[in-house]
Amino acid sequence: MLGCRSGVDPNPTYRIPAGVGIESVSTFSDTCRCQFSDSSPAHSHAQKGFRVAHGQRIGYIRVSTDDQNTERQLDGVPVDKTFTDKASGKDRERPQLTALLDYVRDGDTVVVHSMDRLARSLDDLRQLVRGLTEQQIKVEFVKEGLTFIGDDTPMANLLLTMMGAVAEFERALLGTLHPST
């Protein structure tokens, strides 16, 4: 039997019967993330009321200040889990972004309202998107209507670069109009 930890209780170990097609077992803070083949029988966690994840939609929300509203960014967009930062996009060291990057797995989709919510510079945006898609994680930008899957086609690279450059330009323009942002 393989053991799997679920963060619901700090010390539980649930036993998964051998032969159920488990491909990988991981430890996470609030949900079991066992990956298993489609032909496997019901997973023991599902029988215990735990949600077993395979290909989750993970939302990322970022606002710059505490008084900004986070609700509108992914309002009506179905996600399984959301990570929210209240920090400047200029700083790549954002606690919830780091947590999201640690949480996502192969087959997941990271859903973000717009490119400028994920990164403020084109270099950071390209690095984040490439890093995720290289792990077989899709990146979906709702406002732009774009999803990157890591196919690295010339068109995907062009769209990411052009749209990211526009977002970076808007940020720079805003900085000249409102120097405190």
Provide CB contacts within 8 A for 168, sequence distance 6+.
120, 121, 122, 125
Strand spans (E) along 20-172: 22-24, 35-36, 57-63, 81-86, 109-112, 138-141, 146-148
Active-site annotation holds for 64: yes
Q: Tell me the backbone φ, ψ of residue 138, rounded to 5 degrees.
A: -80, 150
DSSP-based three-state secondary structure for 89: coil
Residue 155 host element (H or E) = helix 154-177
Q: Of 29, 39, 40, 64, which residue is the catalytic one?
A: 64
> Which residues are designated catalytic?
64
